[in-house]
Chain A
Amino acid sequence: MQSDEEDTTLHSCFDSLKSAVMGCCYSICHKENDLQENIINERTHLLEVPEQQHETPAPVASATTPPRKPDEQSALNRILQETATNVIDVGALGPYALEASAYSERVRAYTARVAAAPPPPPPPPPRLLADVPHSERNQLLSRPPLTYEDKELVNLIEHRHDFLIENFGRYF
């Protein structure tokens, strides 16, 4: 009879422990009750683990814990804030759109302010190799190509030029 009561008490204790400590292995909870605790088997730890590691971590805001120092608390808050800022959470962003009234009001404000703004600075000076507009470019590219005689003349000049450069030392 007494053994039955002990069993039920122990089981209720184990159940509460299991619910309190998520992921806690039943064998560890059962350790105190294990009659073959001192026998070396496949569940025995190779290294001796101190008992403190099995304890559940105390909750941060428990009543018994003394209040943290303000600087420590602020440092923790800062770290938390920095971490939250650095996290890339695209899923949490969601769609964003201005309300129609706010949008039109802002458009009106910008239009009025831009109209009152000073004239823009002159456009930057043209570059050395200035680009030409599309229409002008098409006009240039649609012109007839060089004639065959012109190409031959250019090739002849280039050939003579190369010959002169190669034999510069021989003649001069």
Chain B
Amino acid sequence: MVDDLRKYLNHLLEKVNGLHCILITDRDGVPLVRAVTERAPQLALRPNFISTFGMATDQAGKLGLGRNKTIISMYPSYQVIQMNKLPLVITFIGSDNCNTGHILSLESQIEPFLKDLAAVVVDAP
């Protein structure tokens, strides 16, 4: 399953110009599947970077606007888009000029695979 999924994520990576990596992790940043190019910043792939999203999305959900779904963070050279699919988190890292809407549109194409992956995380000890 992993190889097929990784291949599919690599295919999605090629479709979006400037997208460096797609990570599917649990909320602590432990990776399940990842498709990474050499341009991806290594610091942003660390679990302690990714796991901050879990806390941030919890806090953002308390602002009275309902459950937080996505957080987009813009940096001078990169953009990080993280989606709340708890118990999973999808992280996209792209260049600063990458088309953000194009990245967001990948959600629907990854969604069908998440059910099985979520079961893996839930059943894990």
Instruction: Report A's interface with B, CB cutoff 8 A.
Output: 86-88, 90, 93, 95-98, 103, 106-107, 109-111, 113-115, 117-121, 123-124, 131, 133-135
**Secondary structure type dominating chain A contacts:** loop
Q: Can you list 9 residue pairs at the A/B interface with Cβ under 8 Å?
A: A98-B47, A109-B125, A113-B120, A113-B123, A114-B2, A115-B1, A118-B1, A120-B113, A134-B14
Name which residue of chain A comes closest to B113, CB basis: A120
Q: Chain B residues near A86: list those with CB within 8 A.
A: 62
Structural contact, B1 and A88, CB atoms closer than 8 A: no
Structural contact, A123 and B30, CB atoms closer than 8 A: no
Structural contact, B14 and A110, CB atoms closer than 8 A: no
Structural contact, A97 and B48, CB atoms closer than 8 A: yes
Q: Chain B residues near A115: list those with CB within 8 A.
A: 1-2
Name which residue of chain A comes closest to B55, CB basis: A93
Q: Separation in Å of the A122 CB from the closest CB of chain B? A: 9
The CA-CA distance from A96 to B108 in the complex, in Å, is: 30
Q: Chain B residues near A111: list those with CB within 8 A.
A: 2
**Secondary structure type dominating chain B contacts:** helix
B63 within 8 A of A: yes
Structural contact, A97 and B15, CB atoms closer than 8 A: no
Residue interface bits B35-63, CB-to-A below 8 A is 1, else 0: 00000000000011001100100010011
Q: Separation in Å of the B120 CB from the closest CB of chain A? A: 4
The CA-CA distance from A115 to B1 in the complex, in Å, is: 6
The CA-CA distance from A115 to B120 in the complex, in Å, is: 10
B109 within 8 A of A: yes
Q: Chain B residues near A110: list those with CB within 8 A.
A: 26, 30-32, 120-121, 124
Q: Chain A residues near B5: list those with CB within 8 A.
A: 120
